[in-house]
Amino acid sequence: MAERKTLANIHRRRCARHAQLRPLQLLILIAALLFPAAVRAADVALVPGGATWRYKDDGSDQGTAWRAAAFDDSGWLSGAAQLGYGDGDELTVVSYGPDPANKYVTTYFRRAFNVGDPAAFTALTLELLRDDGAVVYLNGNEVWRSNMPAGAVTAATLAAALVSGTAESTFVSTALDPALLVAGTNVLAVEIHQDSPGSSDLSFDLRLTATSDAPIVALTRAPYLQLGTPTGVHVRWRTNIATDSRVRYGSSAADLNLVADVPASTTEHEVVLSGLTPATRYYYSVGSTTETLAGGDAAHSFLTAPPPSATGPTRIWVLGDSGTANSDAVAVRNAYYAFAGSTPTNLWLMLGDNAYEAGSDADYQTAVFDMYPTMLEQSVLWPTIGNHDTAQSPNPPASLPYLAMFSLPTAGEAGGAPSGTEKYYSFDYANIHFVCLDSMTSDRSSNGAMLTWLRSDLESTTRKWVIAYWHHPPYSKGSHDSDVDTELTQMRTNALPILEDYGVDLVLSGHSHDYERSYLIDSHYGLSGTFISSMKKDGGSGRVNETGAYSKPTAGIAPHEGAVYAVAGSSGQIASGPLNHPAMFISLMNLGSLVLDVDGDRLDVKFLRENGVVADSFTIIKGPPPAPSALTATAATATSVDLQWTDTSFNEEGFRIERCTGTIATCDGNPAGYGLVVETAKNATTYTDATASGATTYSYRVRAFNGGGASTSGWSNTAAATTPQACDAPSISVQPQSTTIAPGNGTTLSITASGTAPLEYQWFRGVSGDLSSPVQTATFSTVNVAPAATTSYWVRVTNGCGSVNSATATVTVSACSYNVSPLSFSFGASGGFGSITITTSPSCNWSASFPAGDTWISLTSSATGSGNGAVSFSVAANGPAPRSSSITVAGTSVPISQAAAPPGTPVGVNARATGPAQVTITWSAVPGASSYEVERRAAGNAILTRIAATNSFVDNAVATGTSYIYLVRSLNGGGPSASSAPDLATTIMFTDDPLTAGKQVKTVHMTERRNAVNAVRALAGLAPATFTGTAARGTIVTVAQLNELRVALDAALSILGLPTGGYTAIGQGQPIRAVHFQEILNRVK
């Protein structure tokens, strides 16, 4: 709704500018008041440019009747000039028909206008904008044609020439005779002709100006609307010269067919229009009975208030402390105009300090009438008094400009109780009761006239909403402190208890030059420090998409359900303050105004900043929430029913769900059968009733509630569902068990489940829940499996009620095991063969190996195999040292040891007595022998063995005079060798007179020999030999005796296995020599 720069507006401003009340101009006005004759004549726009015309653009031939003043053009279209098409500058685009190449040649226009006294005019000027040609008729008579051929003109007549270029927007003019005018209604009729059917454009506008020498009446204050009701409104304006007052009005700007007059001559005009139709748009013009000064266009129109029962949308604009008349006020205004767009403002409020500094008439002209002319002429303003409106005086004069310029109810004319004063009043608009209080000049005491009236007024109202406003805010920590300032404190302590007791919804104030907006609060009448949390009826933001709208349970007015308090004193300026009142939800140091939208049970408030940003908003919703809709009920299982509905409300605290057992028809016929199921939280749209029984039909209904349940919506539709027969879903009592199997083996998995029969089983490979690998044909409670590798299995059990998955059972296939036997081998030095048996599963492979360097071992069978088998090997004969190795079969190491070969038989065994009781045996060392075993045989076959580490042994365990046989065996790891040849040793010590060669054998020699032989004979187990002869001294040893020795000895030696004979032959009679006895000695040693 910008201030349109139409010609009409420009003309109005030109008139208004004649008395622009800046100080200098104020002086001029004063001079004019003192010396009224100073104003002289001027032109009167009988038809201004940009006026609204009736038009006919259907290509019809209207003949001639249309030119007459009395022609009925009510069926024609209507639009404001400039009219036409094709140039882009038309305010009203008319039609040229369906074929752009063959446009309508003629378009017709008509306009009626009123002339009071034609005789007052000395000149009449017609100015015409035409493209291409035109013929003008005044009151049925042709008064002018422009760019048209002479002669008769029909609908087909083309214009004389093309109009193009600047001529398309240039007015051509002619003078007319003022006598052509008649007193009363005059009609201009104009036909515009194209120069060709293919013309690209059409343009039409017209100005008819009359000149008069009489003093010209001008508007010094444009029309503004006051005291609107469903059936009436006050139209006020001011002129420079006193005249009577006339308002023309009607349902069309081009047809203001109704008139309201006030005959008294005045400059302060006020005409009451009554008998109007509610919620109807009326167009109007203002002036006198002789001329129209303004109006007759779309801008001068208003919408009457709707009937009391109306609940439709109402838009209210609220300004506070807007009277600065500066760029800030302009910005706030323009922001609202842009915001509102084409949405009409049904009414607007001013919260005081409407015109700085002192609320003088001049201040108001500048700050209100010059600032908001468009709003003033289209929407009723309802102001309140601020301190600056009375120049700070609590006792202003009765001539206070505020009281003079506004028409406000005193007798309840607009609804409400009569107040008897314009300083405070009330009015109704649709379902809203507005209360305006005077916090500046009236008695603010509880039993004063104003608050006594307030009680009576609020008692009487039947509207749904109560919005109260006054200048001094009850709560503020802005540029004014409600804890300190008297007016603020008194309004809070005296007025609020009454307002809240009667259910006020919204309280608006200014005075502090900021924006502060409270929570939904109640019963806070003390200082700010006494505000406590319980005074918040709702401590949220009040925003629908945040904590939710403020909800008041009662649809109409109810006490102490909470109110929102807003300080909106920043419509013209901002001033600093702490902005920390605890009752406030938000406090802003921003310019702005309030936009209220009331629609039925909902009030939306926005704080619109000067830059177009909505810096705050909140919503109040009254009454029970609307009923939820589209309820559906679906039986999910035998014991549960899923409910779903549509949440249609913004202010519910929750939803109540009720259930009835039975069909919808049954339950609806017996509402008492419904019982509570649950109360959900707000914004819920689903619920599952898990308390149902199987095979049962249930009906459900839902409703929203708030006010702690005290306020409820209607019921939703009823929805029913029938649960299926109950059954027990499958459950598993024994899960399949994991197990381990040997490779190549199988196992059986099983499960125990219960539930309503029949139960179906399906086994799967994988972890529980993985359906990708079913075990085909595994559809029983047991399954035989023989996996080659470790595999998991699970089973799903299903019945008509549901299904259940088992746990995962893992069949682990173990690794191959081998049994090897024997686990060791020992071989003698000669070697041999061995065999190792392998016992294992048939599929288990094995192999055998031994260290490569151990060549004395050879496999004689295959080194690999599978399943049971055997590995054979041979061990070669060993050498002199023991050795060992191992053969690894199926991973088992089987040690193999081999003894060394035994050593050779000792040779050269020589046993000799080396003492009376000592025999020393020596022999040749045997390679590879680690030791020797000396065996001594004594008489009686007593055997004694001793170990000799080296190749000699001294036997000290002999008896004197005894013969022994000695054998020697060599020893090593291979065992003992064979025994050596025996050797005899006798411990008879022979004289130390040894019988040497050449030496005579003595008796001793013989005795010794004989004893030795008998020792030998004893060893051999023979009786001692008896020897002949003695061996007395000096006896010659005979050969016989020698032979006796020899025979006796040999006999023993033979038994002993010792060599015999081999004696040196000696015949009889030969001398016995030493050698002969040495031989004996040698044998018996």
Partner 1 sequence: MRRTLILTLLSLAVSAPLLAHQGLHEQIAAVTERIRHEPRNGALYLRRAELYRQHHQWRLAARDYERAHRYDPSLEPVDLGKGTMLLERGRAAEALFPLRRYVRAEPSDARGHLALGRAYAALGRTPEAVDELTLAVRYTPDPDPDLILERARVLAAADRRDEALRTLDEVLATRGPLIALQLAAIDLEVQSRDYDAALRRIDEAEASSPRKESWLARRGEILLRAGRPMEARAAYQSALDAIAALPPERRSTRAMLELQAKLRRALEDD
Among 13, 281, 315, 560, binds partner 1 (CB under 8 A): 560
Bridge partners, 594 (sequence order): 318, 607
C-beta closer to partner 1: residue 203 or 366: 366
Q: Dihedral sign, CA of 1045, 1048, 1053, 1059?
A: positive
Token pair of 743, please?
């490779």
Among 319-327, 747-755, 803-811, 912-920, which window interacts with partner 1 (CB under 8 A)?
Answer: 319-327
Binding of partner 1 by 203 (CB under 8 A): no
Closer residue to partner 1 in complex, CB, 215/448: 448
Cβ proximity to partner 1, 498 vs 660, nearer residue? 498
Tell me which DSSP letter residue 709 carries: G
Closer to partner 1 by Cβ: residue 557 or 588: 557
Asked if residue 453 binds partner 1 (CB under 8 A), the reply is yes
Distances (CA, A) of 139 to 154, 799, 975: 19, 96, 164
CB of 554 to partner 1, least distance (A): 5
Q: Is 363 among the residues that bind partner 1 (CB under 8 A)? A: yes
Burial class (CB in 10 A: 0-12, 13-18, 19+), 728: middle
- Asked if 556 is part of the footprint of partner 1 (rule: CB under 8 A), the reply reads yes
Q: Computed from CA positions of residues 834, 837, 843, 845, in that sequence, does the dihedral angle turn out positive or negative?
A: negative
Q: Are strands 614-622 and 550-552 parallel, antiparallel or unpaired?
A: parallel
- Where does residue 795 fall: left (phi above 0), alpha (psi -120 to 50 degrees), or beta otherwise? beta
CA–CA gap between residue 1081 and residue 1085 (Å, rounded):
5
Q: Please enumerate in sequence order all residues whose Cβ is within 8 A of that of 44, keeping only pairs 6 or more positions apart, or say none.
A: 121, 209, 210, 211, 212, 216, 291
How many chain residues bind partner 1 (CB under 8 A)? 62
In angstroms, give the least distance from the CB of 221 to partner 1. Answer: 16
Out of 299, 362, 435, 620, point to the residue binding partner 1 (CB under 8 A).
Answer: 362
Measure the CA–CA gap between 1060 and 977, rounded to whole angstroms: 25
Q: Contact with partner 1 (CB under 8 A): which of 174, 252, 393, 979?
A: 393
Window 473-492: residues binding partner 1 (CB under 8 A): 479-480
Cα separation, 1002 vs 993, whole angstroms: 9
Q: Binding to partner 1 by residue 268, rule CB under 8 A?
A: no
* Separation of alpha carbons 58 and 97, rounded Å: 7
In the complex with partner 1, which residue's Cβ is closer, 498 or 719?
498
Q: Where are the alpha helices (DSSP H) in 591-642?
A: none
- The correct pick among 5, 17, 22, 1033 for binding partner 1 (CB under 8 A) is 22
Of 274, 277, 392, 858, the one binding partner 1 (CB under 8 A) is 392
* Residue type at position 512: S
Q: Does 395 bind partner 1 (CB under 8 A)?
A: yes
Cβ of residue 358: shortest distance to partner 1, in angstroms? 6
Work out the angle between the directed axes of helices 1039-1056 and 1074-1084 (0-180°, nearest 10): 20
Which member of 307, 559, 891, 1024 binds partner 1 (CB under 8 A)?
A: 559
At a CB cut-off of 8 Å and minimum separation 6, what does 539 contact? 519, 533
Q: Which region, judged by CB under 8 A, interacts with partner 1, from 44-52, 233-241, 353-361, 628-636?
A: 353-361
Give the position of tokens 């919620």. 279
The span from the CA of 385 to the CA of 404, in Å, is 12
Closest CB 257 distance from partner 1, rounded Å:
34
554 binds partner 1 (CB under 8 A): yes
Q: Is 572 in the site for partner 1 (CB under 8 A)?
A: yes
Question: For 268-331, what is the HEC assignment?
Answer: EEEEEECCCCCCCEEEEEEECCCCEEEECCCCCEEECCCCCCCCCCEEEEEECCCCCCCHHHHH
> Minimum CB separation from partner 1 for residue 412, in Å?
7
Per-residue x/- track, 403-442, partner 1 (CB under 8 A): -------xxx----xxxxxxx------------------x
For residue 261, the minimal CB distance to partner 1 (Å) is 24
CB of 242 to partner 1, least distance (A): 17
- Smallest distance from the beta carbon of 675 to partner 1, in angstroms? 26
**Angle, to 10 degrees, between the axis of helix 1003-1019 and the axis of helix 1039-1056?**
20
Shortest Å, Cβ 689 to partner 1: 33
Q: Give the residue, chosen from 20, 154, 252, 452, that forms a contact with partner 1 under the rule CB under 8 A.
A: 452
- Considering only 87, 244, 270, 501, the residue that binds partner 1 (CB under 8 A) is 501
What is d(CA 335, CA 571) in angstroms, rounded to the nearest whole number?
11
In 3D space, the residue among 231, 228, 383 whose CA is nearest the CA of residue 317 turns out to be 383
Q: Would you count residue 456 as binding partner 1 (CB under 8 A)?
A: yes
The smaller minimum CB distance to partner 1, of residues 498 and 900, is found at 498
- Of residues 322 and 747, the one with the C-beta less far from partner 1: 322
Q: Residue from 61, 142, 268, 459 that binds partner 1 (CB under 8 A)?
A: 459
CB 271 to partner 1: min, Å: 20
Q: Which two tokens stand for residue 977?
A: 């060798």
Residue among 604, 594, 722, 574 at smallest CA distance from 662:
722
Residue 166 sits in the site that holds partner 1 (CB under 8 A): no
The reply on whether position 449 binds partner 1 by CB under 8 A is yes
Q: Which helix (H) or strand (E) holds 1013?
A: helix 1003-1019
In angstroms, give the least distance from the CB of 656 to partner 1.
Answer: 20
With CB under 8 A as the contact rule, the residue among 497, 802, 880, 975 that binds partner 1 is 497
Compute the least distance from the CB of residue 590 to partner 1, in Å.
17
Q: Does 450 bind partner 1 (CB under 8 A)?
A: yes
The two three-digit tokens of residue 478, written as one number: 């802005």
CB 917 within 8 A of CB 929: no
Angle at 202 between CA 201 and CA 208, to 5 degrees: 150
x/- string (CB under 8 A) for partner 1, residues 573-592? x-x-----------------
Asked, as a colleague might, if the bond just before 98 is cis with ω within 30 of 0, I would say no
Smallest gap from residue 222 Cβ to partner 1 (A): 21
Q: Which is nearer to partner 1, 399 or 533 (CB)?
A: 399
**875-914 positions binding partner 1, by CB under 8 A:** none
User: Shortest distance, CB of residue 371 to partner 1, whole angstroms?
Assistant: 13
Stretch near partner 1 under the rule CB under 8 A, chosen from 154-162, 228-236, 455-463, 788-796 = 455-463
Q: Provide, rounded to whole angstroms, the least separation between the CB of residue 23 and partner 1.
A: 5
Tell me which residue of 384, 316, 317, 397 sits closest to 355, measured CA to CA: 384
Q: Does 597 bind partner 1 (CB under 8 A)?
A: no
Instruction: Find all residues with CB under 8 Å of 837, minimum gap 6, and list them.
Output: 820, 821, 868, 869, 870
| Beta carbons of 38 and 18 less than 8 angstroms apart | no
| Residue 766 engages partner 1 in binding (rule: CB under 8 A) | no
Q: What are the helix (H) ranges across 379-495?
A: 401-405, 449-460, 486-490
**Least CB distance to partner 1 at residue 238 (A):** 16
Strand partners, 197: none
Contacting partner 1 within 23-62 (CB under 8 A): 23, 26-27, 30
Span interacting with partner 1, options 126-134, 352-360, 526-534, 998-1006, rule CB under 8 A: 352-360
Where along the sequence are the contacts to partner 1 (CB under 8 A)?
Answer: 22-23, 26-27, 30, 321, 323-324, 353, 356-358, 360, 362-363, 388, 391-395, 397-399, 410-412, 417-423, 442-443, 448-450, 452-453, 455-456, 459-460, 462, 479-480, 497-498, 501-503, 554, 556-560, 572-573, 575
